[in-house]
Amino acid sequence: MLADLLFPPVCVACRRLLRGPQALPLCSLCRPEQQPLPPAQRHVGGVEAVHAYHGPLARAVAALKYEGQLELAGPLGRLLAAADLLHRDWDALIPVPLHPWRALLRGYNQAALLARWALPAGHRLRPRLLRRVRATAPQTGQDAAARRRNLEGAFAAGPAVAGLRLLVLDDVTTTGATLAACITALRAAGAREAAGLALLRSLA
């Protein structure tokens, strides 16, 4: 295909050319570095994750999120698209929103970019159903209890979510506090069902 010639598949970690599209977009040198996510950690507290936040995939997500390497959104989003939870009968998918100031400074929402690439046919992406109404301190370095306190009241949803089945998408989950806060806000606004899905889960 012309697209394969113009945009050949590359390893998301080291950018070596791949021989063709791979289920895991890592070359033969980087793939052994990727620690698998233990089955017991795939579904935790209503939040599903696909891969471990480790090695080359962790570096690729960090490059997308903090270094502006937006070309990684496609292959990483397609990894997220493999999640079974994504293919249930949801009324809408919602990326975890950034606070407006954070979105302005970063220039993009990495969760929204991943969601666009992961969106299954027939599903709708409706980011405006959920808002981040309070700026929060970075979660890095905080324990689970502190992360939950940090996110109290940070998200809000309106009456438009009433009766809907909604899936919230994020790039990384550690304690699950961010996605849990999103789910709580959606349920408080009347969502019939809400769940969370992340590309990577921290093994710490």
pLDDT tens digits, 53-82? 999 999 999 999 999 999 999 999 999 998
Q: How far apart are CA 193 and CA 135, in angstroms?
A: 26
Which of 162, 150, 153, 163 is closest to 184 using CA atoms? 153
Q: How far is CA 18 from CA 5, 98, 153, 190, in A?
A: 12, 33, 45, 46
Of residues 140 and 157, more confidently modeled: 157
- Residue carrying the six token digits 């080291």: 14
Share of the chain above pLDDT 90, in %: 69
Question: So where are the chain's domains?
Answer: 2-35+44-202
Task: Say whether pLDDT at 6 is over 70.
Answer: no
Element (H, E) at 198: strand 193-202
Instruction: Fill in the DSSP letter of residue 132.
Output: E
Region for 39 from its dihedrals, namely left if φ exceeds 0, alpha if ψ lies in -120 to 50, beta otherwise: alpha
The mean predicted confidence, pLDDT, of the chain is: 89
**Greatest alpha-carbon span in the chain:** 51
Q: What percent of the chain has pLDDT over 70?
A: 88
pTM confidence score: 0.89
pLDDT above 80: residue 3: no
Question: Coil, strand, or helix at residue 167?
Answer: strand
pLDDT of residue 20: 75
Say whether domain 2-35+44-202 belongs to CATH 3.40.50.
yes
pLDDT of amino acid 150: 66
93-151 pLDDT, tens per residue?
999 998 888 888 889 999 999 999 999 988 999 999 999 887 765 656 655 666 667 67
Which token pair is 42? Answer: 């795939």
**Cβ pair 21, 5 in contact under 8 A:** no
C-alpha distances in Å from residue 176, one per residue of 12, 28, 132? 25, 31, 16
Other Cβ atoms within 10 Å of 195 Cβ, number: 19
Average pLDDT of the residues in 175-199: 95
114/79 Cα distance (integer angstroms): 9
Question: Which candidate, 98, 169, 104, places its Cα nearest to that of 138?
Answer: 98
